[in-house]
Amino acid sequence: MACSKILGSTSFNPAKSTPFCKPKLSTRLNCNWPWRLVENKAPIICSLQSHCAWTCDDHLSLKSHPTRKSDILRAIDQTNETLFSTGKFGRFGGIFVPETLVDCLNKLAAEFNFIMHDPEFQAELAIALRDYVGRETPLYFAKRLTDYYKNSEGEGPEIYLKREDLNHGGAHKINNAIAQAMIAKRMGRKSVVAATGAGQHGVATAASCAKLSLDCTIFMGDLDMERQSSNVLLMKHLGAQVKSVKGTFKDATSEAIRNWVGDLDNSYYLAGTAVGPHPCPSMVREFQSVIGKETRKQAMEKWGGKPDVVVACVGSGSNALGIFHEFVRDEDVRLIGIEAAGSGIDSGKHSASLTKGDIGVYHGAMSYLLQDEEGQIIGPHSIGVGLEYPGVSPELSFLKEIGRAEFNTVTDKEALDGKRQDAYALLCRLEGIIPALEASHALAYLRKLCPTLASGTKVVVNCSGRGDKDADKVFKYQQEQMVQHLPDFE
């Protein structure tokens, strides 16, 4: 049934169900799925497909920002109180799904709530994180990078890297994948489906499924399979079936969910990032929050305090929330998320959902989205494939709205220009660490951030992954820029 037909039905009353939102209709809408806002039982319509989104009136969306610090803490407390029952982060998140999925998501939420308080599961997970994933990851003092960003008086912040690149599989993704694969096993599921963009979540899921003897199918956009081909091979070596989907990560996500819906009793959809309907964003955040917990402990050991500033790249939000969450209530810790500005923030070719998007519903939850005037999803772009998603975690949307986290952008060229002292080259050549292009975005922001900070400020950058998957691409890119010699940093 066409979306416009359903929306035109008498039972639909958007003004009643979501006071600050209205649907933007388009003749191009073609919804196959009737979605439902579970919280207030008001029927609304959306789609698993990439086209359909809801958009908020601008004048209402930002009106009630808390501004005082106490307001921010109260907003966080209120969200914590309601989160486990409704999946709402303020007005973001929720469960915008077809009724057929509600039961399945409820079972998953119940299992998640159970394992969070189950000492047996927690002990098993702690062992897996230590002996399989390789945690804890170091908090590394990047001495030469720190020196590089000092001013002419020899002053500047101290830069530390949280080394998620050292995890098994080469990224933070395994923290969540192993935990959810353990949940799938406990729920008696035989197979796992997942979607991947850069391939890191695909590799992490394939590895976790091999370890736990679960069948594994990974959906990946055909463009991404080409751009991150080394990870496609790794997934296959790990025993996963890799299915090509026309498009990129957003299209692979839609296809993975469709596949899961076809066999809800036996298969498990393993969300790789903090988006989707409740409980997916909370589960992923929770399993990634080990990053921030370790960072607090390690900072205390190293300098006897907290970080002053925490920086992370934002694709859909899992590594950022993983390191932010622990510090959300520490108002003296600045939290900075870096989105991909791609070819330029005003070029229309970027992935900056929080910076440039509007509020709407996509893949089962309300959050900031890249969408056009008619509510159609705009394809994202970044040189960091893992940053290409047109939406973002509802929890990050909430942190933006209450002013608890700052968000900035970095262009492709600032992360990798192939010829000068870009963020990728700097980390390779100053520290001997090859960062993923996604993490290079967080690192690139240091160029703007460092001159604004007092000397000795402790900055922790989440180095979310290593750059093996990008090495080919970077080499070709550098050749295109006709780089004969990279500069000497002595």
24 vs 325 by CB, closer to ligand PLP: 325
Counting contacts by CB under 6 A, is residue 317 touching ligand PLP?
yes
Helix or strand run (H / E) with residue 107: helix 99-116
* Contacts with ligand PLP, 343-382, as mask; x by CB under 6 A: ----------------------------------------
Contact 82, 90 (CB under 8 A): no
Nearest to 290 by CA among 86, 170, 122: 122
* Contacts with ligand PLP, 459-478, as mask; x by CB under 6 A: -----xx-------------
Beta strands in 142-225 (DSSP E): 158-163, 191-196, 215-221
Least Å from the CB of residue 94 to ligand PLP: 19
* Contacts with ligand PLP, 188-227, as mask; x by CB under 6 A: ---------xx-xx--------------------------
Q: Binding segment for ligand PLP among 73-81, 301-309, 313-321, 421-429 (CB under 6 A)?
A: 313-321
Counting contacts by CB under 6 A, is residue 314 touching ligand PLP?
yes
- Can you tell me which of 29, 83, 139, 171 binds ligand PLP, judged by CB under 6 A? 171
d(CA 437, CA 428): 12
128 vs 275 by CB, closer to ligand PLP: 275
Least Å from the CB of residue 34 to ligand PLP: 29
Counting contacts by CB under 6 A, is residue 394 touching ligand PLP?
no
| Joined tokens for residue 322 | 């993983």
360 vs 384 by CB, closer to ligand PLP: 384
Instruction: Work out whether the CA dihedral 182, 188, 192, 193 comes out positive or negative.
Output: negative
d(CA 172, CA 291): 8
- Can you tell me which of 273, 351, 353, 382 binds ligand PLP, judged by CB under 6 A? 273
Nearest to 363 by CA among 34, 91, 50, 41: 50
278 vs 441 by CB, closer to ligand PLP: 441
401 vs 470 by CB, closer to ligand PLP: 470
318 vs 409 by CB, closer to ligand PLP: 318
315 vs 364 by CB, closer to ligand PLP: 315
Output the CA–CA distances (angstroms, integers) from residue 38 to 45, 97, 129, 253, 371, in the order listed: 12, 8, 35, 22, 24
Counting contacts by CB under 6 A, is residue 439 touching ligand PLP?
yes
- Alpha-helical (H) ranges within 389-470 are 394-401, 412-415, 423-426, 437-444, 446-449
Contact 449, 309 (CB under 8 A): yes
d(CA 194, CA 252): 9
Nearest to 54 by CA among 106, 85, 89, 17: 17
Contact footprint for ligand PLP (CB under 6 A)? 171, 197-198, 200-201, 273, 313-320, 386-387, 436, 438-439, 464-465
